[in-house]
Amino acid sequence: MTWNYVGRRVAMFFAVVLLAASANFLIPRFAPGDPTAAVLEQLMSRGQQVEGAGDIVQEYRERFGLDDPLHIQYFRYLWNTLRFDLGQSISFFPQTVSSAILDALPWTIGLLLVSTFIAFGVGSLVGALIAWPGAPRAVKALVPGLMMLSAIPYYLLALIILYALAFSSGIFPLGGAYSSYPRSFDFETVVDILYHACLPALSIVLAGVGFWALGMRGAMIGTLGEDYLTLAEAKGLKPRRIFFGYAVRNAMLPQVTSLAIALGTAASGSVLVEVAFNYPGIGFLLYNALRSSDYFLVQGIAFVLVLTVAIAVLILDLVYPFLDPRIERQ
């Protein structure tokens, strides 16, 4: 791995983060209607109910430095964003946007990491088997079903699963991530959390397996004609070893590339799954922020969503040369 390569990837990362922060700053200013006025107006109408509304108005004026020239406002905004100071949440008042996001983040990351990896593993294996000539027929019969599942968005599937397995049969809880807020991590709490995570995870896995299987199938077909497979066969290696050690190993590479992007986009895709299941992660927080027009919080979450993808892509870019030495030559 050359320093040039690393430098370019890191520069790309900062470019994306800068772009996202700039979009957060600029878009409200170009949108028709005046969002600053809208938020202030909304604060006024809430004046009686929200304690400390005066502070928020003050904060808003300072944050956007409404009297300063535009470029000063812009640089101040970037500086604040860099320090992860994303402003004051309106709907969760004493909390700041960053603390509200940090509270919700572990739930989303936990749910997503586990379910995306399960979908990735199961999907890749199934996809590899579908393309493998020696695989059982039953696996090949899976193709149409998997294709259908991959075409259906997460959240539509989530709603149907929720109805079938929670509302009408009562096998699983209706929503949330725990029965009572976990104070310690004993065995019972962990089981309870896993029990609550089952259905949201199931909908993400079901919707994802097809995607991974189809991608893997394509990559496997590409490797099947390669000479090293013929050589491995000629050497008399066991089929299992040829399958995993030669075919799957090479076909996995493009899958790993998609994984980074998928982990990132899963964060925004899961927003609606969390809404359907009242799962207390980023997505549910976003839903509440939108419903109470908590504009800072919406912007903050949008920024975090971009940040997750950027980080995932950066990590992948830095790890990839170790997986596939050919990449460096480009």
Q: Kindly list the residues in this chain that would bind another protein in the complex (CB under 8 A).
A: 12, 15-16, 19-20, 23-24, 27-28, 31-33, 35, 38, 147-148, 150-153, 155-156, 159-160, 162-163, 167, 174, 218, 221, 261, 264-265, 267-269, 271-272, 275-276, 286-287, 290-291, 293, 295, 298-299, 301-303, 305-306, 309-310, 313
Q: Please, what is the minimum distance in Å from the beta carbon of residue 268 to another protein?
A: 4
Say how far apart CA 35 and CA 30 lie, in whole Å: 10
Q: Please, what is the minimum distance in Å from the beta carbon of residue 308 to another protein?
A: 8
Q: Please, what is the minimum distance in Å from the beta carbon of residue 3 to another protein?
A: 20
Say how far apart CA 108 and CA 235 lie, in whole Å: 48
Whichever of 126 and 263 has its CB closer to another protein, that residue is: 263
Contact present, 23 and 320 (Cβ < 8 Å): no
Whichever of 34 and 186 has its CB closer to another protein, that residue is: 34
Whichever of 109 and 237 has its CB closer to another protein, that residue is: 109
Helical (H) or strand (E) element with 52: none
Q: Look up residue 325 and give its DSSP letter.
A: G
Q: Please, what is the minimum distance in Å from the beta carbon of residue 138 to another protein?
A: 19
Q: Indicate the SS3 state at residue 93.
A: coil
Whichever of 105 and 237 has its CB closer to another protein, that residue is: 105
Whichever of 221 and 253 has its CB closer to another protein, that residue is: 221
Q: Please, what is the minimum distance in Å from the beta carbon of residue 242 to another protein?
A: 19
Neighbours of 213 (CB within 10 A): 28
Q: Please, what is the minimum distance in Å from the beta carbon of residue 221 to another protein?
A: 5
Contact present, 266 and 203 (Cβ < 8 Å): no
Residue 219's identity, in one-letter code, is A
Angle between helices 70-82 and 3-30 (to 10 degrees): 130
Whichever of 15 and 191 has its CB closer to another protein, that residue is: 15
Whichever of 121 and 230 has its CB closer to another protein, that residue is: 230
Whichever of 29 and 241 has its CB closer to another protein, that residue is: 29
Residue 201's identity, in one-letter code, is A
Query: Tokens 């903050």 label which residue?
Result: 300
Provide the sign of the torsion angle of the four alpha carbons 105, 200, 261, 298, taken in this order: negative
Contact present, 164 and 213 (Cβ < 8 Å): no
Q: Please, what is the minimum distance in Å from the beta carbon of residue 47 to another protein?
A: 21
Q: Please, what is the minimum distance in Å from the beta carbon of residue 93 to another protein?
A: 19
129: CB partners within 8 A, 6+ apart: 135, 136, 139
Contact present, 233 and 242 (Cβ < 8 Å): yes
User: In the structure encoding, which two tokens stand for residue 177, read together?
Assistant: 């991530």
